[in-house]
Structure 1
Amino acid sequence: MPSMPPATTRRPKSRDDFEIAIICALTLEADAVIASFDHHWDEDNGPSFGKARGDPNSYSTGVIGSHNVVLAHLPGMGKVAAGNIAAFCRMSFPNIILALVVGICGGAPLYEDTPIFLGDVIISTGVVQYDFGRRFPDKFEMKDTLSESLGRPNLEIRSLLAKLTTARQRQKMTRASRDFVGRVPDTYPGRSRDILFPAGYRHKHQDSRECTVCASCCTDADTVCSKALKASCEELGCDIKQAVRQIPGNKDEREPSLMIHFGTFASGDTVMKSGKDRDQLIREKNVIGFEMESVGVWEVFPCIVIKSVCDYADSHKNKDWQDYSAVCAAACTKAFLGYWNSTKRIIDAKAEEEELQERILKSLHFPEMNQRRSIVASEAPSTLKWIFGGSRPQTFDSRSSDGGRSDNDSTEAADGSTDQDSDLGEHSDEVGDSHDCYEKRPRVPKHLNVDNHSHEHETFEPSLTEKDGGNFKTWLTSDQLIYWISGKPGSGKSTLMKFLLSDSRTLAALEKWHEDVVIVSHFFWKPGSSMQKSFKGLICSIAYQLLSHDPNLIGYLHDTTATFRKSSPSDWDQDQLCKSLYSYQDQTSQTICIFVDALDEARPGQDTLDTLQFIKSMVSPKTKICVSSRPEPLFKHQFSRYPHLQMHELTRLDIFEYSKANLRQLTILDSQELDLSELAWKVAELAEGIFLWAVLVTQSLVRGLNNGDSEQEIEQRLNDMPKDLMSLYRDILRRSAEDLLIYRKYVSTAINLMRIAFTRKSPFSQVTAFDCMMVMEPDLLERYAVLGDQVPNAELDAKTEVMRKRLNSCCPGILGVIPSSWAVVFTHRSAEEFIFETEEGQRLWQPYRIPRAELLCRSFKAIVAMNRFKSIWDSEDFLKMLYEWDESQEFPPGIYGFFLELTLGSYKKGFISPPPANHDSELGPKDFVGRFMLSAFRCGHRPFVLGTLKTLEPCVSHDTICCILDLICDEWLRLGRPGTLYMIDNIFEQGYNPNWTMRRTNISHPMGSLWFRSLISILKWVIRQRTNHFYELYDMNPRATGIFQTFRRAGAHIAATFPIYLETETPRYRINTFFRPADALGPGSGHSLLGRARFMIIEIDARTLMDYIMSWTHQDTILVGPPTDPGSAAYMKALAFGTPTSRHLYIVESESISARLVKAAEAALKFRGARSISPEDSLKEILNRCDREMADLRSYCGQTKKDYFWQGHRLWSPPV
Structure 2
Amino acid sequence: MLKRTISHEPGLSGLEKRRKIGSSSDGGLGGTISPQLTNEAYTVGWICAIPTEYVAARLFLDKEHMRPKFKPAEDTNHYTLGEMGGHNVVIAVLPGGEYGASSAANVASNMLRTFPQIRIGLMVGIGGGAPSEEHDIRLGDVVVSMPSGGNAGVLQYDFGKTLQSREFCMTGFLDQPPTVLRTSVCGLQVQYEMYGHCLNESIEITLQKWPKINRKYGRPDISTDRLYPANVVHHEQPCCLAATRGDIPEPISRPQRTEDAHNPVVHYGLIGTANQLMKDALVRDRLSKEKGILCFEMEAAGLMNHFRCLVIRGICDYSDSHKNKDWQGYAAMTAAAYTKDLLCQIQPSDVVAEERLNQFVLESVSRIDENVEALKLKATRKEDLEVLDWVSSVDYGPQQSDFFKRVQPGTGLWFLQSVQYRDWISAETKTLFCPGMPGAGKTILASIIIYDLWSRFREDASIGIAHIYINFRRRGEQTPEGLISSVLKQLAGRLVPLPEQVRRLYHDHRVARTRPPFKGLSDALDSTLRQYYRTYIVIDALDECDASTGCRDRFLSEIFRAQSGGKVSILVTSRNNPEIQNKFTECAILEIRANSNDVEKYVDNRISELPAFIRDNSSLQQDIKASINRTADGMFLLAQLYLDSLKGKLTLRAVRKALEDFVAGSDAYEHAYSSAMERINGQPREEADLARRILSWIAFARRPLVTEELRHALSVEAGMSHLDEDDLLQVDMASMCAGLVTIDKESDIIRLVHYTTQQYFEKSFQRWFAAASHAVIWNMKLA
Shorter-chain TM band: 0.3 to 0.5
> Which structure exhibits the higher relative contact order, with contacts defined as CA atoms closer than 8 Å and separated by 6 or more residues?
2
Q: TM-score, normalized by length of structure 2?
A: 0.46
